[in-house]
Structure 1
Amino acid sequence: MVDRLALTGSVNFIGTAEARLTPEEGALALAARAPHPDLHPHVFLPDDTRLWPRCSR
């Protein structure tokens, strides 16, 4: 779910096609995924805004 007003989101991830996962296993599985190749900042997004997510990790 994405709340565009509060700028928050959540995912209800319960497992893979093969098995259900514990919350800890799910966190590891999601962390191991690579971002989708089409995911990128909007071309008009200012450079300083693009850097913020990388600096906050």
Structure 2
Amino acid sequence: MKQVALHQWHKEHNKRIAEFHKKHETEIQRGENGNGLLARWERFFYNNVISLFRT
């Protein structure tokens, strides 16, 4: 794979990942990310740690 093609693919990949993270953050804020142990820890961490740094 040529460097230019790889660079373009990586830019598109980063854009998709950024969109996913924005969507996922919204789901966490609404409490729609599930009821499993990992989802609960994720909400706890977001609400008690990350949200403090954003304000």
TM-score (norm 1): 0.28
Q: Which has the higher contact order (CA 8 A, sep 6+)?
A: 2
Could you say which structure has the higher strand fraction?
1
Could you say which structure has the higher helix fraction?
2
TM-score (norm 2): 0.29
Higher CA-based Rg: 2
